[in-house]
Amino acid sequence: MNTKYIKIYIVALLITLLIGGCGHTTNEQYDGKINVCTSFYTMYDFAQKIGGEKINLKNIIPQGTEPHSWEPSPKDILTIKKADVFIYNGIGMEPWFEKIEGSIKNGDVTILEASKGIELLKGTHSHGEGQHKGEDPEKNKTLEYDPHVWLDPLLAKKQMESIKDVLIKVDPQNSPYYEKNYEENARKLDELDREYKATLQTSAKKDIIVGHGAFGYLCKAYGLHQNAIEGLNSEFEPSPAKMAEAVKFIKDKHIKVVFTDGLSDPKVIRAVANEVGAEVLTLDPLGTLTEQDISRGKEYFSVMRENLKALQKALE
């Protein structure tokens, strides 16, 4: 087991021993709300849309932080254990949680894996290619499945439904409120799906070039083909052979736009773009938003529509 995860496990075990006999304390006794903790931005946004004013919501990963490589502190683990509900995506999106899951389950927190029951896409890109000496192998291992299911609006709807169901299970007295919020957002997701279909499915071009290979579900839903340079992990650095292969593909397909994810280092995708004379645009996988983005009113629906505009330009 990797040393850093041994440390996380030991901390989680100590926290379990410290608070295990103290009972499960929440803010519910003070303000009537349940405490909900989420693993990264998209889960936070979905929980906020469904839970609204009836929940105390905390996102465990700081805004603007790349979620693939984040690790929890002892304080973060304690926050999860003290929550009424913990919501995470699963499918390898939060590898740190797999190391502490046993100790978390020993508490009273209700755990939701929001992607459970969704038909998954195989992960097609190895994190191991291009790994350099001294790199952490945990950041470069192959993902068996693509975790980015929320980028298909209809799969996002399934995730929101699961969040609604778990909130009702834990807080049944507010079930009409959660049901209402879910139905409103389900309609918005259906509308977003129709917009994507109307814009993308009639396009003659179908290939997109991305750095971060996070868009498999989106591409499958709308008949596109994702060609990822860096793989499923945005910290993965491709080999020179992979770079040359990408350059040849772009030239052969006469592709004029390549996509960065807007958060990870864009040096690889910019190097490819410079080689072929392509424009660099942002396609946001919604793993995180910065505090500045959130203060400007950005959230799932607005970012997904920005993504649609970028895709439309790339496929013109």
Q: What is the pLDDT of residues 28-37, one digit of tens each?
A: 445 889 999 9
* Dihedral angle sign, alpha carbons of residues 147, 148, 152, 155: positive
pLDDT band with cut points at 50, 70 and 90 for residue 223: very high
Tokens linked to 82:
């003290």
Q: What is the pLDDT of residues 141-173, one digit of tens each?
A: 557 899 999 999 999 999 999 999 999 999 999
Q: Are 10 and 55 in contact (CB under 8 A)?
A: no
Domain 3-23+31-119+142-189 has CATH 3.40.50.1820: no
- The reported pLDDT for the residue numbered 235 is 55
- The reported pLDDT for the residue numbered 257 is 96
- The reported pLDDT for the residue numbered 303 is 98
Question: DSSP letter at 174?
Answer: G
Residue 186: name the closest of 300, 33, 88 by CA.
300
Predicted confidence (pLDDT) at residue 232 exceeds the cutoff of 70: no
Predicted confidence (pLDDT) at residue 229 exceeds the cutoff of 90: no
pLDDT band with cut points at 50, 70 and 90 for residue 9: low
Mean pLDDT calculated for residue range 248-270 = 89
Same CATH fold assignment for domains 3-23+31-119+142-189 and 200-314: yes
List the domain boundaries for the chain.
3-23+31-119+142-189, 200-314
- The reported pLDDT for the residue numbered 140 is 44
Q: Which amino acid is at 198?
A: A
Residue 85: name the closest of 115, 117, 60, 63 by CA.
60
Rounded Cα–Cα distance for residues 7 and 287 (Å): 25
Q: Which residue has the higher pLDDT, 290 or 173?
A: 173
- The reported pTM is 0.85
- The reported pLDDT for the residue numbered 220 is 96
Predicted confidence (pLDDT) at residue 280 exceeds the cutoff of 60: yes
Mean pLDDT calculated for residue range 75-87 = 95
> Cα(first)–Cα(last) distance of the chain, in Å?
48
Q: Which amino acid is at 144?
A: E
Predicted confidence (pLDDT) at residue 255 exceeds the cutoff of 50: yes
**Buried-exposed string 140-163: b where 16+ CB fall within 10 A, e elsewhere:** beebebbbbbbbbbebbbbbbebb
Mean pLDDT calculated for residue range 103-114 = 91
pLDDT band with cut points at 50, 70 and 90 for residue 267: confident
CATH of domain 200-314: 3.40.50.1980
- The reported pLDDT for the residue numbered 61 is 93
- The reported pLDDT for the residue numbered 25 is 39
| Mean pLDDT of the residues in the chain | 85
